[in-house]
A and B are shown apart, each in its own frame.
Chain A
Amino acid sequence: MIELTKTGIDGLDGILNGGIVTNSTTLVSGNPGAGKSILGLQYIYSGVEQFDEKGIYLSFEENESDLREAAESIGFDRWPEHVESDDIKVYDKQVLLRENDFSSSIELLLDDLKNDDYDRLVLDSLTMFELFFDNEKEKRTYLLKFTDILSNNELTTLMTNEQGAVFPDTDIGLENYLTDGNIYLIQTPTDAGVNRYLWVAKMRKQDIETDIYPMEISWGGIDVHENASAFSMMSEEDSPI
Protein backbone atom coordinates (compact mmCIF):
# COMPACT_ATOMS: atom_id res chain seq x y z
CA MET A 1 0.00 0.00 0.00
CA ILE A 2 1.47 3.33 -1.04
CA GLU A 3 1.31 6.00 1.63
CA LEU A 4 -0.20 9.29 0.51
CA THR A 5 0.18 12.84 1.80
CA LYS A 6 -2.87 15.06 1.44
CA THR A 7 -2.20 18.48 -0.03
CA GLY A 8 -5.14 19.85 1.93
CA ILE A 9 -6.66 21.20 -1.30
CA ASP A 10 -9.82 19.12 -1.52
CA GLY A 11 -10.35 19.04 -5.24
CA LEU A 12 -6.69 18.31 -5.90
CA ASP A 13 -6.56 15.43 -3.43
CA GLY A 14 -9.63 14.05 -5.22
CA ILE A 15 -7.95 14.22 -8.62
CA LEU A 16 -4.92 12.49 -7.12
CA ASN A 17 -7.13 9.81 -5.61
CA GLY A 18 -6.06 10.67 -2.10
CA GLY A 19 -2.95 12.85 -2.25
CA ILE A 20 0.65 12.82 -3.42
CA VAL A 21 2.95 9.91 -2.69
CA THR A 22 4.66 10.43 0.66
CA ASN A 23 8.40 11.26 0.40
CA SER A 24 8.13 12.05 -3.32
CA THR A 25 8.98 15.29 -5.12
CA THR A 26 6.36 16.99 -7.28
CA LEU A 27 7.02 19.82 -9.68
CA VAL A 28 4.40 22.59 -9.80
CA SER A 29 4.83 24.49 -13.07
CA GLY A 30 3.17 27.59 -14.38
CA ASN A 31 3.65 31.14 -15.60
CA PRO A 32 4.10 33.97 -13.09
CA GLY A 33 0.79 34.64 -11.33
CA ALA A 34 -0.62 31.19 -11.98
CA GLY A 35 -0.81 30.43 -8.25
CA LYS A 36 2.27 28.27 -7.65
CA SER A 37 3.39 30.04 -4.49
CA ILE A 38 -0.16 30.04 -3.10
CA LEU A 39 -0.41 26.32 -3.70
CA GLY A 40 2.87 25.94 -1.80
CA LEU A 41 1.66 28.12 1.09
CA GLN A 42 -1.58 26.18 1.31
CA TYR A 43 0.21 22.82 1.26
CA ILE A 44 2.43 23.85 4.18
CA TYR A 45 -0.37 25.62 6.11
CA SER A 46 -2.81 22.72 5.74
CA GLY A 47 -0.09 20.33 6.86
CA VAL A 48 0.14 22.07 10.22
CA GLU A 49 -3.55 22.92 10.60
CA GLN A 50 -5.16 19.69 9.46
CA PHE A 51 -2.59 16.92 9.63
CA ASP A 52 -0.24 17.90 12.43
CA GLU A 53 2.70 17.82 10.01
CA LYS A 54 5.39 20.47 10.22
CA GLY A 55 6.69 22.14 7.09
CA ILE A 56 9.65 23.99 5.64
CA TYR A 57 9.10 26.79 3.12
CA LEU A 58 12.15 27.84 1.09
CA SER A 59 11.65 30.99 -0.94
CA PHE A 60 14.17 32.61 -3.25
CA GLU A 61 11.44 34.90 -4.48
CA GLU A 62 10.07 36.58 -1.38
CA ASN A 63 10.87 37.84 2.10
CA GLU A 64 9.28 36.41 5.21
CA SER A 65 6.98 39.43 5.49
CA ASP A 66 5.82 39.07 1.86
CA LEU A 67 4.99 35.43 2.54
CA ARG A 68 3.10 36.32 5.70
CA GLU A 69 1.10 38.96 3.85
CA ALA A 70 0.35 36.56 1.02
CA ALA A 71 -0.80 33.93 3.51
CA GLU A 72 -2.96 36.37 5.44
CA SER A 73 -4.48 37.78 2.26
CA ILE A 74 -6.11 34.44 1.55
CA GLY A 75 -7.18 33.82 5.12
CA PHE A 76 -4.29 31.77 6.52
CA ASP A 77 -4.48 33.85 9.69
CA ARG A 78 -2.42 31.62 11.92
CA TRP A 79 0.59 31.53 9.52
CA PRO A 80 2.65 33.91 11.75
CA GLU A 81 1.84 31.86 14.87
CA HIS A 82 3.03 28.68 13.22
CA VAL A 83 6.21 30.39 12.05
CA GLU A 84 6.76 31.72 15.56
CA SER A 85 6.43 28.21 17.05
CA ASP A 86 8.66 26.67 14.33
CA ASP A 87 5.83 24.45 13.08
CA ILE A 88 6.50 26.27 9.84
CA LYS A 89 10.14 27.01 9.16
CA VAL A 90 10.69 29.76 6.63
CA TYR A 91 13.94 30.26 4.76
CA ASP A 92 13.21 33.46 2.90
CA LYS A 93 15.02 35.29 0.14
CA GLN A 94 17.00 37.35 2.61
CA VAL A 95 18.30 34.32 4.46
CA LEU A 96 18.97 32.20 1.40
CA LEU A 97 20.78 34.90 -0.52
CA ARG A 98 22.59 36.50 2.39
CA GLU A 99 25.97 37.73 1.18
CA ASN A 100 25.70 35.27 -1.65
CA ASP A 101 26.31 32.60 0.93
CA PHE A 102 23.78 30.04 -0.13
CA SER A 103 26.06 27.21 0.93
CA SER A 104 25.72 28.02 4.64
CA SER A 105 21.93 28.12 4.23
CA ILE A 106 22.10 24.70 2.66
CA GLU A 107 24.03 23.51 5.68
CA LEU A 108 21.35 24.81 8.07
CA LEU A 109 18.66 23.26 5.93
CA LEU A 110 20.41 19.89 5.84
CA ASP A 111 20.62 19.98 9.64
CA ASP A 112 16.90 20.69 9.86
CA LEU A 113 16.18 17.78 7.56
CA LYS A 114 18.20 15.37 9.66
CA ASN A 115 16.27 16.29 12.80
CA ASP A 116 13.19 14.46 11.53
CA ASP A 117 10.89 17.22 12.73
CA TYR A 118 9.53 18.13 9.34
CA ASP A 119 7.33 16.21 6.91
CA ARG A 120 6.63 18.74 4.17
CA LEU A 121 8.83 21.01 2.12
CA VAL A 122 8.24 23.65 -0.53
CA LEU A 123 11.03 25.00 -2.74
CA ASP A 124 9.99 28.24 -4.45
CA SER A 125 11.44 28.15 -7.00
CA LEU A 126 13.49 25.42 -8.62
CA THR A 127 14.28 27.92 -11.37
CA MET A 128 16.24 30.02 -8.86
CA PHE A 129 17.81 27.02 -7.13
CA GLU A 130 19.24 25.88 -10.45
CA LEU A 131 21.08 29.18 -10.93
CA PHE A 132 23.58 28.05 -8.31
CA PHE A 133 24.90 25.36 -10.61
CA ASP A 134 27.22 25.93 -13.51
CA ASN A 135 25.95 23.75 -16.30
CA GLU A 136 23.16 21.41 -17.34
CA LYS A 137 24.95 18.31 -16.17
CA GLU A 138 25.60 19.78 -12.74
CA LYS A 139 21.98 20.97 -12.44
CA ARG A 140 20.73 17.50 -13.25
CA THR A 141 23.13 15.75 -10.91
CA TYR A 142 22.40 18.01 -7.97
CA LEU A 143 18.66 18.12 -8.48
CA LEU A 144 18.70 14.32 -8.31
CA LYS A 145 20.93 14.32 -5.25
CA PHE A 146 18.78 16.96 -3.55
CA THR A 147 15.53 15.06 -4.19
CA ASP A 148 17.24 11.91 -2.93
CA ILE A 149 18.28 13.69 0.26
CA LEU A 150 14.73 15.00 0.76
CA SER A 151 13.15 11.62 0.16
CA ASN A 152 15.58 9.82 2.46
CA ASN A 153 14.85 12.34 5.19
CA GLU A 154 11.15 11.58 4.72
CA LEU A 155 10.05 14.87 3.26
CA THR A 156 7.21 15.16 0.80
CA THR A 157 8.18 18.03 -1.47
CA LEU A 158 6.65 20.51 -3.89
CA MET A 159 9.01 22.49 -6.13
CA THR A 160 7.72 25.38 -8.19
CA ASN A 161 8.97 25.96 -11.70
CA GLU A 162 8.61 28.94 -14.03
CA GLN A 163 7.28 27.16 -17.06
CA GLY A 164 4.05 27.36 -19.01
CA ALA A 165 1.98 24.28 -19.73
CA VAL A 166 3.55 22.15 -22.40
CA PHE A 167 1.76 20.31 -25.12
CA PRO A 168 3.14 17.81 -27.61
CA ASP A 169 5.94 19.09 -29.84
CA THR A 170 7.22 21.70 -27.42
CA ASP A 171 10.30 21.45 -25.27
CA ILE A 172 9.89 19.84 -21.90
CA GLY A 173 12.45 20.69 -19.24
CA LEU A 174 14.47 17.84 -17.86
CA GLU A 175 13.10 18.77 -14.44
CA ASN A 176 9.87 17.13 -15.50
CA TYR A 177 11.53 13.78 -15.90
CA LEU A 178 13.62 14.00 -12.76
CA THR A 179 10.71 14.56 -10.39
CA ASP A 180 8.04 12.05 -9.37
CA GLY A 181 5.06 14.15 -10.33
CA ASN A 182 4.04 17.11 -12.48
CA ILE A 183 1.25 19.55 -11.82
CA TYR A 184 0.62 22.48 -14.18
CA LEU A 185 -1.24 25.64 -13.26
CA ILE A 186 -2.63 27.40 -16.30
CA GLN A 187 -4.25 30.82 -16.61
CA THR A 188 -6.04 32.25 -19.62
CA PRO A 189 -7.21 35.86 -19.89
CA THR A 190 -10.93 36.49 -20.36
CA ASP A 191 -13.11 39.61 -20.58
CA ALA A 192 -13.87 39.31 -16.88
CA GLY A 193 -10.36 38.57 -15.63
CA VAL A 194 -8.65 35.22 -15.81
CA ASN A 195 -9.75 31.64 -15.93
CA ARG A 196 -7.53 29.30 -14.01
CA TYR A 197 -6.98 25.61 -14.57
CA LEU A 198 -5.03 22.81 -12.98
CA TRP A 199 -3.66 19.79 -14.79
CA VAL A 200 -1.96 16.82 -13.15
CA ALA A 201 0.18 15.55 -16.01
CA LYS A 202 2.09 12.82 -14.26
CA MET A 203 2.31 11.05 -10.91
CA ARG A 204 4.61 8.08 -10.59
CA LYS A 205 3.10 5.04 -8.85
CA GLN A 206 -0.35 6.61 -8.90
CA ASP A 207 -3.60 6.31 -10.77
CA ILE A 208 -4.71 9.86 -11.42
CA GLU A 209 -7.28 11.88 -13.36
CA THR A 210 -5.47 13.54 -16.25
CA ASP A 211 -8.23 15.93 -17.28
CA ILE A 212 -7.76 19.66 -16.91
CA TYR A 213 -9.85 21.08 -14.08
CA PRO A 214 -10.97 24.63 -13.39
CA MET A 215 -9.64 26.20 -10.22
CA GLU A 216 -10.14 29.42 -8.29
CA ILE A 217 -8.00 31.41 -5.91
CA SER A 218 -10.05 33.15 -3.25
CA TRP A 219 -10.41 33.56 0.52
CA GLY A 220 -9.36 30.21 1.97
CA GLY A 221 -6.91 29.48 -0.82
CA ILE A 222 -7.15 27.37 -3.94
CA ASP A 223 -10.32 25.51 -4.90
CA VAL A 224 -10.18 22.89 -7.61
CA HIS A 225 -13.51 21.89 -9.06
CA GLU A 226 -12.99 18.24 -9.68
CA ASN A 227 -16.61 17.56 -10.60
CA ALA A 228 -16.66 20.29 -13.18
CA SER A 229 -14.02 19.00 -15.54
CA ALA A 230 -14.42 21.41 -18.42
CA PHE A 231 -12.46 19.37 -20.88
CA SER A 232 -11.12 15.98 -21.51
CA MET A 233 -8.45 17.29 -23.82
CA MET A 234 -5.79 14.88 -22.73
CA SER A 235 -6.13 11.21 -22.42
CA GLU A 236 -3.29 9.52 -20.57
CA GLU A 237 -1.73 8.27 -23.81
CA ASP A 238 -1.53 11.79 -25.21
CA SER A 239 0.26 13.21 -22.22
CA PRO A 240 3.63 14.56 -23.35
CA ILE A 241 5.28 13.38 -20.15
Chain B
Amino acid sequence: MASVDILQTLGNKYSAEILDATDEPASAQELSDELGIPIATCYRRIDELTEHGLLELHDNILSDDRRRIKVYRRSVEEVRVGFDDGLSVNVEERSEITNKLDEAWRTLSEG
Protein backbone atom coordinates (compact mmCIF):
# COMPACT_ATOMS: atom_id res chain seq x y z
CA MET B 1 0.00 0.00 0.00
CA ALA B 2 1.27 3.43 -0.91
CA SER B 3 1.65 6.31 1.47
CA VAL B 4 -1.15 8.81 1.91
CA ASP B 5 1.39 11.53 0.99
CA ILE B 6 0.78 10.54 -2.60
CA LEU B 7 -2.65 12.11 -2.42
CA GLN B 8 -1.17 15.49 -1.55
CA THR B 9 1.18 15.26 -4.53
CA LEU B 10 -1.58 14.14 -6.86
CA GLY B 11 -3.81 16.95 -5.61
CA ASN B 12 -1.36 19.67 -6.60
CA LYS B 13 -2.33 21.70 -9.62
CA TYR B 14 -1.22 20.08 -12.94
CA SER B 15 -0.06 16.78 -11.37
CA ALA B 16 -2.84 14.66 -12.81
CA GLU B 17 -2.50 16.38 -16.19
CA ILE B 18 1.21 15.62 -16.28
CA LEU B 19 0.61 11.93 -15.53
CA ASP B 20 -2.10 11.86 -18.18
CA ALA B 21 0.27 13.31 -20.77
CA THR B 22 3.22 11.00 -20.02
CA ASP B 23 1.91 7.73 -21.40
CA GLU B 24 4.71 8.20 -23.91
CA PRO B 25 7.92 9.88 -22.69
CA ALA B 26 7.88 13.69 -22.70
CA SER B 27 10.29 16.43 -21.64
CA ALA B 28 9.55 19.20 -19.13
CA GLN B 29 9.49 21.76 -21.94
CA GLU B 30 7.03 19.67 -24.00
CA LEU B 31 4.74 19.26 -20.99
CA SER B 32 4.95 22.95 -20.22
CA ASP B 33 4.03 23.88 -23.81
CA GLU B 34 1.37 21.24 -24.25
CA LEU B 35 -0.42 21.77 -20.94
CA GLY B 36 0.23 25.49 -20.52
CA ILE B 37 2.15 25.05 -17.25
CA PRO B 38 4.73 27.68 -16.23
CA ILE B 39 8.11 26.01 -16.71
CA ALA B 40 9.30 26.43 -13.11
CA THR B 41 6.10 24.85 -11.79
CA CYS B 42 6.45 22.08 -14.35
CA TYR B 43 9.93 21.18 -13.08
CA ARG B 44 8.70 21.28 -9.49
CA ARG B 45 5.77 18.96 -10.22
CA ILE B 46 8.02 16.55 -12.12
CA ASP B 47 10.36 16.39 -9.12
CA GLU B 48 7.49 15.72 -6.71
CA LEU B 49 5.92 13.06 -8.90
CA THR B 50 9.28 11.37 -9.45
CA GLU B 51 10.04 11.37 -5.71
CA HIS B 52 6.78 9.56 -5.06
CA GLY B 53 7.42 6.99 -7.76
CA LEU B 54 4.51 8.10 -9.92
CA LEU B 55 6.70 9.39 -12.72
CA GLU B 56 10.12 8.14 -13.82
CA LEU B 57 13.07 9.45 -15.74
CA HIS B 58 12.82 7.42 -18.91
CA ASP B 59 15.82 8.51 -20.94
CA ASN B 60 18.26 11.27 -21.78
CA ILE B 61 17.64 11.93 -25.43
CA LEU B 62 19.73 14.09 -27.75
CA SER B 63 17.94 17.17 -29.05
CA ASP B 64 18.24 18.66 -32.54
CA ASP B 65 20.81 21.13 -31.26
CA ARG B 66 22.72 18.25 -29.65
CA ARG B 67 21.82 18.88 -26.04
CA ARG B 68 20.77 16.15 -23.64
CA ILE B 69 17.11 16.37 -22.70
CA LYS B 70 15.48 14.38 -19.92
CA VAL B 71 12.22 12.72 -20.84
CA TYR B 72 9.76 11.37 -18.31
CA ARG B 73 7.15 8.64 -18.44
CA ARG B 74 4.50 7.80 -15.88
CA SER B 75 5.20 4.61 -13.98
CA VAL B 76 1.64 4.01 -12.82
CA GLU B 77 -1.59 3.04 -14.52
CA GLU B 78 -4.03 3.68 -11.72
CA VAL B 79 -4.27 5.02 -8.18
CA ARG B 80 -7.14 3.73 -6.06
CA VAL B 81 -8.25 5.30 -2.79
CA GLY B 82 -10.44 3.21 -0.47
CA PHE B 83 -12.22 4.07 2.77
CA ASP B 84 -13.95 0.76 3.38
CA ASP B 85 -11.43 -0.93 5.73
CA GLY B 86 -9.72 2.23 6.81
CA LEU B 87 -8.00 4.60 4.46
CA SER B 88 -6.03 2.79 1.76
CA VAL B 89 -4.13 4.02 -1.27
CA ASN B 90 -3.24 1.47 -3.93
CA VAL B 91 -1.00 2.22 -6.85
CA GLU B 92 -1.09 -0.02 -9.89
CA GLU B 93 2.22 0.11 -11.67
CA ARG B 94 2.72 -0.16 -15.39
CA SER B 95 3.46 -3.60 -16.73
CA GLU B 96 7.04 -4.83 -16.53
CA ILE B 97 6.70 -6.45 -19.94
CA THR B 98 6.05 -3.19 -21.69
CA ASN B 99 8.99 -1.65 -19.81
CA LYS B 100 11.33 -4.43 -20.92
CA LEU B 101 10.18 -4.25 -24.51
CA ASP B 102 10.50 -0.46 -24.46
CA GLU B 103 14.01 -0.76 -23.15
CA ALA B 104 15.06 -3.38 -25.70
CA TRP B 105 13.49 -1.38 -28.48
CA ARG B 106 15.22 1.81 -27.40
CA THR B 107 18.65 0.17 -27.49
CA LEU B 108 18.03 -0.78 -31.13
CA SER B 109 18.25 2.80 -32.30
CA GLU B 110 21.44 3.33 -30.31
CA GLY B 111 23.00 0.46 -32.26
- Interface positions of A (Cβ within 8 A of B): 102-103, 106-107, 110, 132-134, 138, 142, 145-146, 148-149, 152
In the bound complex, do residue A145 and residue B95 qualify as a contact, i.e. CB atoms below 8 Å apart? Answer: no
Given A145-B105, A148-B108, A134 and B95 contact (CB-CB distance below 8 Å): yes
- Which residue of B is nearest A113, CB measured? B104
- Interface positions of B (Cβ within 8 A of A): 77, 95-102, 104-105, 108
Query: A191 CA to B90 CA in the complex, in Å?
Result: 59
Q: Which residues of A contact B98 (CB under 8 A)?
A: 133, 138, 142
Query: A172 CA to B99 CA in the complex, in Å?
Result: 29
CB pairs A–B below 8 angstroms (17 shown): A103-B97, A106-B101, A107-B100, A132-B95, A132-B97, A133-B95, A133-B97, A134-B95, A142-B97, A145-B101, A145-B102, A145-B104, A145-B105, A148-B105, A149-B101, A149-B105, A149-B108
A92 to chain B, nearest CB (A): 18
- Which residue of B is nearest A142, CB measured? B101
Query: A133 CA to B97 CA in the complex, in Å?
Result: 9
In the bound complex, do residue B105 and residue A110 qualify as a contact, i.e. CB atoms below 8 Å apart? Answer: no
Query: A134 CA to B77 CA in the complex, in Å?
Result: 10
In the bound complex, do residue A110 and residue B104 qualify as a contact, i.e. CB atoms below 8 Å apart? Answer: yes
Enumerate the 10 nearest inter-chain pairs by beta-carbon distance, A residue then B residue, closest first.
A103-B96, A145-B105, A103-B97, A152-B108, A110-B104, A106-B100, A145-B101, A149-B104, A132-B97, A142-B101
Interface of A is mostly: helix
- Which residue of A is nearest B105, CB measured? A145
The contact of B100 among A103, A133, A138, A152, by CB within 8 Å, is A103
Query: A145 CA to B105 CA in the complex, in Å?
Result: 6
In the bound complex, do residue A103 and residue B104 qualify as a contact, i.e. CB atoms below 8 Å apart? Answer: no
Q: Which residues of B contact A110 (CB under 8 A)?
A: 100, 104
Query: A132 CA to B77 CA in the complex, in Å?
Result: 14
Query: A219 CA to B108 CA in the complex, in Å?
Result: 41
B29 to chain A, nearest CB (A): 24
- Which residue of B is nearest A145, CB measured? B105
B76 to chain A, nearest CB (A): 13
Of B97, B100, B102, the most chain A CB neighbours within 10 A belong to B97
In the bound complex, do residue A106 and residue B97 qualify as a contact, i.e. CB atoms below 8 Å apart? Answer: yes
Q: Which residues of A contact B104 (CB under 8 A)?
A: 110, 145, 149
Q: Which residues of B contact A142 (CB under 8 A)?
A: 97-98, 101
